Amino acid sequence: MCAARAGGDSTITMQTVSFTLNGKPVAAMVGPVDSLRDVLREKLHVYSVKAGCGQGGCGSCTVLVSGDPIVSCLMPARVAEGLEIITLEGIGTPAQLHPLQQAFYDNFAAQCGFCTAGMITVAKALLDRNARRSWRRSPGTSAAARATCPSSALCRMRRPA
């Protein structure tokens, strides 16, 4: 931890946060209000994590934190210490797409592409938790639920009722 002057009389305390990013150990200096999204993009150069609304509403910055889908714009980077973070880059690669990525590609589901990483990340978490279920076969799933984007993203994707 270190203290650095940031203009005027205010002092900002910086600290090193270390975590696992897509299977590799990483570390970054972060301030007390730096979001995980901004650290991933600006310090670790992970650009699949999009800077959208910054308010937790669009889902385009979603990452997996120890398996849970989290909107990284609302997560302080300093609390990532010791956690496992997975972004789209950790789900598949251009040479070896994850089946979800392949399905998005095959079905032209990317739309404009801005929030696609968030949609795939949330879909992966959903499928990991419900490995034996499918949205279409689940008898308790209402038409309204099927029509709602799983990432709650700004999404125009609709499933057949």
Give yes or no for residue 31 binding ligand FES (CB under 6 A). no
Among 60, 101, 116, 121, binds ligand FES (CB under 6 A): 60
Answer yes or no: are the C-beta atoms of 40 and 28 closer than 8 Å: no
φ/ψ of residue 138, rounded to 5: -70, 110
φ/ψ of residue 70, rounded to 5: -130, 135
With respect to ligand FES, which residue has the nearer C-beta, 71 or 149? Answer: 71
Among 52, 69, 90, 150, binds ligand FES (CB under 6 A): 52
Show the tokens assigned to 53: 């609304």
Residues 6+ apart with CB under 8 A from 93: none
Give the number of other Cβ atoms within 10 Å of residue 98's Cβ.
16
**Binding track, positions 63-102, relative to ligand FES; x by CB under 6 A:** --------x-x-----------------------------
Give yes or no for residue 54 binding ligand FES (CB under 6 A). yes
Among 28, 36, 40, 58, binds ligand FES (CB under 6 A): 58
* 53 exposure class (CB count in 10 Å sphere: 0-12, 13-18, 19+): middle
Per CB under 6 A, which region of 6-14, 23-31, 57-65, 141-149 contacts ligand FES? 57-65
Give yes or no for residue 47 binding ligand FES (CB under 6 A). no
The minimum distance between CB 51 and ligand FES, in angstroms, equals 6
Half-sphere exposure of 153 (CA within 13 A, CB side): 31
Using CB under 6 A as the criterion, which residues of the chain lie in contact with ligand FES when the complex forms?
A: 52-54, 56-61, 71, 73
